[in-house]
Amino acid sequence: MNKIVNILLAIGSVALVYGCSAPRAEIPVSSPGQPLALRVDASQVIAPIAPTMYGIFFEDINFAIDGGLYAELVKNRSFEFDKPLRGWKFLKDEGLGARALPISTSNPRNSRFMRIQINDPGTGVGLMNEGFRGMGIKKGIPHDFSIQVKGFEGNVSAIRIELADSLGAILAESRITGINENWQTLETTLTPSKTEAKAVMNIWFEGVGSVDIDMVSLFPTDTWKGRKKGLRADLVELLADLNPGFLRFPGGCIVEGFDLSQRYQWKNTVGDIDDRVVTINRWNFEFDHRPAPDYYQSFGVGFYEYFLLAEDLDAEPMPIINCGMACQFNTGELVPLDELEPYIQDALDLIEFANGSIDTKWGKLRADMGHPEPFNLKMLGIGNEQWGPQYIERYVPMVEAVKKSYPEMQIIAATGSDGSIFPNGEEEIKYLWEQYQKLQPEIVDEHFYRNPDWFRENASWYDDYDRDGPKLFVGEYASQSVGVASPDNKNNWETALSEAAFMTGLERNAEVVQMTSYAPLFAHAEGWQWTPDLIWFNNLDAYGTANYYVQKMFSNNAGTHVLPLTYEGEPVTGQKNLYASAAKDEETNELILKVVNAADVAQEGSFSIEGIESLKKNGQLQILSSQDLSAFNTFDQTSKISPRESTFETDGNGLSITLEPYSFYIIRVGFEQLP
């Protein structure tokens, strides 16, 4: 064996570690009392708020890409899942002469196609594709069908395509001809007569003989920016509304793989769409309670599309690269140090792909794919949730090589996962931080999957971090209502409110915390593995959770500089169940307060604003609240917990707001600077 398997870590599995619940306390009750005197000093800037402060972490989990963002409606379009006909049903008369025969090729990037042999067509021979828990098709929207096809023998001359609803009624139909003995792509368009969330697609073959098919595809045309074979517009719009400062991709554990053979290899995800190497999705089999045997990565969204998405969103791209380690919750397989070179080369080539001139090998590929301009990559993550000396041993040569060629590249170092959920977590994190004192990566990535109490109780988490050390990336966090990744977790108001409380602490510490992102991002209502998630979708619709609105309110009201905000001389980190941060926006001359009232009673916040000439008379409020901590949004009630807008008046030097019970406020008001 030329690979070392870390046996100790192999015993653990994510399923064993996740799903455990921690003891919980209720949000304490407080009595309404005197107005709380809060003080903001606008003349004392604590730190600039990085434009990257609020971003997105995108991993293909919960059918986030195939079956989600990627608008392809055909599952297993190239017959390259382990079971070639998974997602398909062969349609034929019983007992008659027809079969579907998977054919292997010698091309590892396009390893299989399907041969349809028809000796006796009976009442018809065809294939039905079930889509991703059905296909969501829309009335009046043209859908582009395409197929790679080659006549092998006989006279199969035409293919008839039908879109049918769940009862079999035909909603659209088309026919293509022109099959010959060469591989070619044939196309047609179908426009459904009805909207249907659970449609299927039938393709019927006319004639007798054998025909070879591959890359059977159906896309709606109402994609993001109208791009052919593109992304679901409604889902990208939800991301765009977050106004993200960065896009971290592609994971997450998916970077690492269950073992190294399943790791994310970006080179397999670029170039011609039919040459991308279909790979099992590691979330396919991770959780026994949520098996997804039909979850694969077609890489229709690969690294080029990720970079493009980041550009569309005006977000800094943040790729994470495998550093020769498989997921330490699974096999923890390690590549031997003397075999690390290809992993290092992958990192260097990735930077060339993103930023290199079109005269370079990988820069040319980017240009050939449609983007001659560089993507302006500035940061690179080395591994996802890695820990132990094995990580440092791999991290060091990787970073040395990157820095040698690209000294400006900012390195993101891992700190394992949330110390509470992996073996000896706190000790491992301590060890890594000791290493980082010496190695000084620009950025260190920390993850938190804890219960709501923890998020409220740790609004001061970053108060004592070294201001002169590496900057912090809170790369994954989400409050778990039951236990880590428990299938019973809900995106309820208590989790969202508690995250808002924690986030005031992140913002107060903008001096060290420069990037933050919730995790996971997306979940298909029927195809998910992990909950809670920021955005839920089905084949036709999508909605933001209460947690989504918290993220959106922070991100769209970030401001440019943090200011001190105090209660009795101290930062507001839970006294009287209040949590708060203050910022100013230098571009608009506005003061922006973010205030969480986690008490079950209304409280009056009386804010005196110092260090300014005067406040404008009128200000704006955004309020997110619910009296029911267990409430959450659903497809039927997508806006149950969503922001309301209101206004208030100042007295020129301060403002008073009655904060509803269990509420999160954005308070915005213009001001005049001191002369």
Give catalytic residue positions: 385
The CA-atom distances, in angstroms, between 474 and each of 27, 228, 240, 340, 531 are: 24, 35, 20, 28, 19
The DSSP-derived string for 549-612 is HHHHHHHTT--SEEE-EEETTEE-BSGGGEEEEEEEETTTTEEEEEEEE-SSS-EEEEEEEESS
Segment contacting ligand AHR by CB under 6 A, of 142-150, 249-257, 261-269, 397-405: 249-257
Chain-centroid distance of CA 128 in Å reads 31
Q: Does 321 bind ligand AHR (CB under 6 A)?
A: no
From CA 499, how far away is CA 521, in angstroms rounded?
Answer: 15
CB 219 within 8 A of CB 72: yes
Nearest approach, Cβ of residue 349 and ligand AHR (Å): 24
For 369-485, where are the alpha helices, taking DSSP H only? 389-405, 425-439, 452-457
Nearest approach, Cβ of residue 256 and ligand AHR (Å): 8
In the complex with ligand AHR, the residue whose CB is nearer, 251 or 300, is 251
Nearest approach, Cβ of residue 522 and ligand AHR (Å): 11
* Interface pattern 513-532 for ligand AHR (x via CB under 6 A): ------xx---------x--
- Residues forming beta bridges with residue 79, ordered by sequence position: none
Which residues, numbered 392-421, are part of the site for ligand AHR (CB under 6 A)?
417
Residue from the set 223, 243, 384, 479 that interacts with ligand AHR by CB under 6 A: 384
Nearest approach, Cβ of residue 61 and ligand AHR (Å): 6
Segment contacting ligand AHR by CB under 6 A, of 140-148, 230-238, 245-253, 307-315: 245-253
Nearest approach, Cβ of residue 260 and ligand AHR (Å): 16
Q: Is 600 exposed, middle or buried (0-12, 13-18, 19+ CB in 10 A)?
A: middle
Helix (H, G, I), strand (E, B) or coil at 546: helix
- Give the count of residues interacting with ligand AHR (CB under 6 A): 12
* Interface pattern 465-504 for ligand AHR (x via CB under 6 A): -----------x----------------------------
Q: Which residue is nearest to ligand AHR (CB)?
A: 252
In the complex with ligand AHR, the residue whose CB is nearer, 258 or 353, is 258
Which residues, numbered 547-576, are part of the site for ligand AHR (CB under 6 A)?
none
Segment contacting ligand AHR by CB under 6 A, of 104-112, 248-256, 312-320, 452-460: 248-256
Phi first, then psi: give them for residue 373, nearest 5 degrees. -70, 145
- In angstroms, the first-to-last Cα distance of the chain is 73
Nearest approach, Cβ of residue 347 and ligand AHR (Å): 19
Segment contacting ligand AHR by CB under 6 A, of 247-255, 348-356, 499-507, 599-607: 247-255
From CA 363, how far away is CA 135, in angstroms rounded?
Answer: 36
> ω into residue 252 within 30 of 0, thus cis?
yes
Nearest approach, Cβ of residue 449 and ligand AHR (Å): 7
Q: Does 253 bind ligand AHR (CB under 6 A)?
A: yes
Segment contacting ligand AHR by CB under 6 A, of 94-102, 251-259, 316-324, 600-608: 251-259
Residue from the set 46, 58, 59, 260 that interacts with ligand AHR by CB under 6 A: 59
In the complex with ligand AHR, the residue whose CB is nearer, 57 or 431, is 57
The CA-atom distances, in angstroms, between 300 and each of 63, 80, 383, 463 are: 13, 14, 23, 42
Which tokens belong to 177? Answer: 């001809």
Residue from the set 252, 332, 419, 619 that interacts with ligand AHR by CB under 6 A: 252
In the complex with ligand AHR, the residue whose CB is nearer, 320 or 599, is 320
CB 494 within 8 A of CB 27: yes
Nearest approach, Cβ of residue 99 and ligand AHR (Å): 40
From CA 216, how far away is CA 85, in angstroms rounded?
Answer: 13
Beta carbons within 10 angstroms of residue 382's beta carbon: 24
In the complex with ligand AHR, the residue whose CB is nearer, 88 or 283, is 283
Which tokens belong to 363? Answer: 């820069």
Contacts of 320 (CB under 8 A, 6+ apart): 248, 249, 250, 251, 252, 255, 380, 381, 382, 383, 384, 412
In the complex with ligand AHR, the residue whose CB is nearer, 417 or 516, is 417
- Give me the residues that bind ligand AHR (CB under 6 A), please: 59, 61, 251-253, 384-385, 417, 476, 519-520, 530
